[in-house]
Amino acid sequence: MHVKFPTEPSAIKGYLKQFAQADSSLAAEPESQWYFYADLIQKVGIDVHFANPLKVKAVASAWVKNR
């Protein structure tokens, strides 16, 4: 899904609220403002997990993904 919206905190929170459920989580690539966005996303009720893009690529291209 591709969505554009303003990068104001209220707009981000408003968009993410639709995904917030009891066990919601989000995986993201760390970037320059990761701490700001992690706090913002967690305030909405979504757990945040950061992933190393090189390792994610290795797992995605692996034949066996459950080891």
Mean pLDDT computed over 14-39: 85
The DSSP output letter for 51 is -
Residue 7: how many other CB atoms lie within 10 Å: 9
**Is residue 28 in some structural domain?**
yes
The domain of 52 spans: 9-61
With a pLDDT cut of 90, the percent of the chain lying above it is 13
If pLDDT is split at 50, 70 and 90, which confidence band does 57 have? Answer: confident
How far apart are the C-alpha atoms of 67 and 65, rounded to whole Å?
A: 6
CB 13 within 8 A of CB 42: no
**Is residue 4 in some structural domain?**
no
**Is residue 1 in some structural domain?**
no
Q: What is the pLDDT of residue 39?
A: 92
**Is residue 66 in some structural domain?**
no
**Is residue 21 in some structural domain?**
yes
**Is residue 2 in some structural domain?**
no
**Is residue 20 in some structural domain?**
yes
**Is residue 40 in some structural domain?**
yes
